Amino acid sequence: MNAAYNSYIGILPDSNFATIQSDRISCPLGQLVIASFAKERVKGLDAVVYNGMRTSKKVILNRINDEVKAKKKVAVGITLTAGNTEDGFEIAEKAHKYGADVFIGGTETTMCGEDILEGREYIKAAIFGAGENRMAGILSGNRADCLAGTAWLSYDKEIQSSPIYKFGLDFENIKVDYNLLYDLKGHGGVSVLYGNDCQHVKKRCYFCGRQSFGTGFRDPDVFWNEVLGLYELGIATFNHTMDNIAVDMEKLGELAKTKPIQLRLDKHKTFINATDVNEESATYLKKINAIAAIGLENFALMEKVGKGKTKVLDHLRALQQLRDKRIPISLSMVLGIPGETKDTLEENTEWIDFIFKEYGEAIDQFLISPLIITTGSRAYHDLMALPKIRRKYKEKQIPLDTFEMSEDYFDNFCQVSRKETLEHILSINERIKKFNPRVTVSGHILNTEVQIKGIKR
């Protein structure tokens, strides 16, 4: 039986929230997993994956058009996340006009559910949760597979809505063929996956809208093989995008012990909770050449961040241990926790000053951002629980505007506006440079000044 499609084009559209590191170390890992998975299972499938943060829309759209003109049956898969939906829908609409079938997935799709298709007839299906099995089913034409609880096709009358079910990642069977990434060598670094979610998976931090794709680890030899292949192509920066590998010390140890000796100049940005930093984990992190990414958290409103039992002292101890082992540190902090005032912003500035005075030379990056409302986070639910806000957004097409929701959030939950908070972040940027001029400071979202200008009130 012939497959339903013989060309797959996976796209992660450009995002308004891209950090200044994004084009250096990110790549559309989810799309690469989908494309690699499908290529192994669908006979004769051509597949390519685009990173919208590196490749222009024009180049991507030309490729789609060329594939359709070459009389191929083309499926376009688009990952929608908070911040990239505008670009994503634009690509989707044009791809449909050219004659490709468009499928959407990603966090925004899963969080919004079937309603995301309303008024968007140019999208053939929305896929909820992990997409590799579903997309392979669609591409091969095996509808039984693609209907297994996740795909919902909007205008194909043969397939009706099916219950939404979120599949977890199939860690054992994931292989990533990075050669499917367009302009691979042009990427300064790439995202990789060894395993696991953070330990707050059952009760996320207040602002976190991350979805859980399940927990588990990949075979470290398979993982290192992928890394080695990339390293030989000249890529040495790796972003462990999905995981907190230190949750499981045994697995972190396995990773450190199996690291190939050829890898010397590689860098692995790896999230770690402050409570997981200890002598053992620091030794392993050192061995894998980690940049330890730590959520510093809002000092003045620490309890309200909701990060379990993590305390200020845990952060100080973690920073000291990492500094002593000469492990570079990447810190992140969110301002605008409920109850934020001018005074708490000042308190946080003092806290940042203190951290940079003590540990500044060990800190490589500092990502600081105002709280952003992403669908599904606890902050989102609190905002939507307000009757006037619920009424306001009820009539709007989804996904809802993240910046608009964030402004409403600040107006209702903080005693400082989002604009004041962004201005405060700019002043913090200036101060930090004095302690460590080499530190990369990011407003977490592309350009803090541009955002301030965009604010209406």
Rule CB under 6 A: which residues touch ligand SF4? 198, 200, 204-205, 208, 210, 295, 307
Q: How far is the CB of 77 from ligand SF4 (least distance, A)?
A: 24
Q: Which residue intervals of 330-417 are DSSP H helices?
A: 342-359, 378-384, 387-394, 402-413
Q: How far is the CB of 306 from ligand SF4 (least distance, A)?
A: 8
Q: How far is the CB of 307 from ligand SF4 (least distance, A)?
A: 6
Q: How far is the CB of 203 from ligand SF4 (least distance, A)?
A: 8
Q: What are phi and psi of 288, to 5 degrees?
A: -90, 5
Q: Beta partners for 291? A: 269
Q: Do 194 and 258 meet the contact criterion of CB atoms below 8 Å apart?
A: no
DSSP per residue, 157-173:
TTS-------BPP-GGG
Q: Which residue intervals of 141-264 are DSSP H helices?
A: 143-146, 220-232, 249-257
Q: Identify the DSSP state of 195.
A: B
Query: Would residue 119 be called left, alpha or beta, if left means φ above 0 and alpha means ψ between -120 and 50 degrees?
Result: left
Cβ proximity to ligand SF4: between 142 and 275 the closer is: 275
Cβ proximity to ligand SF4: between 204 and 418 the closer is: 204
Tokens encoding 420: 């004041």
Cβ proximity to ligand SF4: between 116 and 334 the closer is: 334
Q: How far is the CB of 310 from ligand SF4 (least distance, A)?
A: 9
Cβ proximity to ligand SF4: between 210 and 304 the closer is: 210
Q: How far is the CB of 246 from ligand SF4 (least distance, A)?
A: 12
Cβ proximity to ligand SF4: between 198 and 345 the closer is: 198
Q: Is the peptide bond before 387 cis (omega within 30 degrees of 0)?
A: no
Q: How far is CA 60 from the centre of its chain?
A: 21
Cβ proximity to ligand SF4: between 91 and 291 the closer is: 291
Q: What element of type H or E holds 271? A: strand 267-271
Cβ proximity to ligand SF4: between 63 and 307 the closer is: 307
Q: Do 282 and 274 meet the contact criterion of CB atoms below 8 Å apart?
A: no
> What one-letter code names the amino acid at 434?
K
Q: How far is the CB of 428 from ligand SF4 (least distance, A)?
A: 20
Q: Identify the DSSP state of 106.
A: S
